[in-house]
Structure 1
């Protein structure tokens, strides 16, 4: 857990985490909502048409705003779903009504077990030579994947797809 949150009473920790996730989700929504028009003509236009954004937009269209609420408990889905709501220009008040329960659940998860589990995994991996090798391998694999994607985009002139 970040040092500035350590030692806080549980209710203040919960409130702090809620405010962090609330502000982050709102910022993601508004950046996406305000950027749709201009970004389609910039280098970010490819991300707006990416498979991840299309997939999350389709989820939003199919299931509606409860998907926004559920996205807060699925790692990797939260940011894209908030952006998809902004891209779809969902009314702010509807989005916020769907987002607040997700923020509460996220804050509860991180205030109770989220940070503890994360730091336990990091400590376990970093405490052994094999753990350090695994972390190094993941960093190298991510660098290679990004390099391959970048080269494919330059070669084809469009978004790259991994095989």
Structure 2
């Protein structure tokens, strides 16, 4: 049963915003609680102790650092996906991302999610992707986009490797001049 005041428009958007806001916060805090529980077992031996030591190790710290650095991009974008959202929100809690950073990063995602769901755009978005992926022309277009994107990445990496492997060296004529100048200094 749906209340008539949230059936459409701005009230529906507000309702959905708070639904996703509290769901994301709950997922984050469950991840934090799990991390805290494992960390408190650090002095234990066996499997629980190993997990607790892992939570205090370099991997979660690196994850927290990456989320601190790039979380403002990853966290809101996860709200535009289906299935990744919970993993990202729980992961932010597991690596003990600062609450303030997490909350500020998730608010734009919550707004986008509420807009998509209140206007029915999520259905349109997924239907469009399914239609593109179901058509041979759609698959061809996706393949071309992926090939172009992969080619650009490959070209950029190749250029970076050339720059790092081949330092700037003087030409043969410059080398000859340098050796003559050093010989003249010796005289």
TM-score range, shorter chain: 0.5 to 0.7
Does the aligned pair in 1 maintain the 2:68–2:97 contact within 8 Å?
no
Provide Cα deviations, 1:79-112, integer angstroms capped at 9, x if missing partner: 1101111111111111110000000000000011
Question: Are positions 1:105 and 2:112 aligned together?
Answer: yes
Question: Are positions 1:68 and 2:75 aligned together?
Answer: yes
Q: Provide the secondary structure at the position in 1 that maps to 2:22.
A: helix
Which residue is equivalent to 1:95? 102
Structure whose CA Rg is larger = 2
Provide Cα deviations, 1:59-87, integer angstroms capped at 9, x if missing partner: 73773332001100011111110111111
- CA-based RMSD of the aligned residues comes to 3.2
Runs of 5+ consecutive residues of structure 1 not aligned to the other structure: 121-163
Q: Provide the secondary structure at the position in 2 that maps to 1:15.
A: helix
CA distance in 2, matches of 1:115, 1:70: 14
TM-score by length of structure 1 reads 0.54
Provide Cα deviations, 1:25-46, integer angstroms capped at 9, x if missing partner: 000001101111325766xx7x
The structure with more helix, counted as a fraction of residues: 2
Distance 1:20 1:72, change over 3 A: same
Alignment size in residue pairs? 107
Which residue is equivalent to 1:159? none
TM-score by length of structure 2 reads 0.48
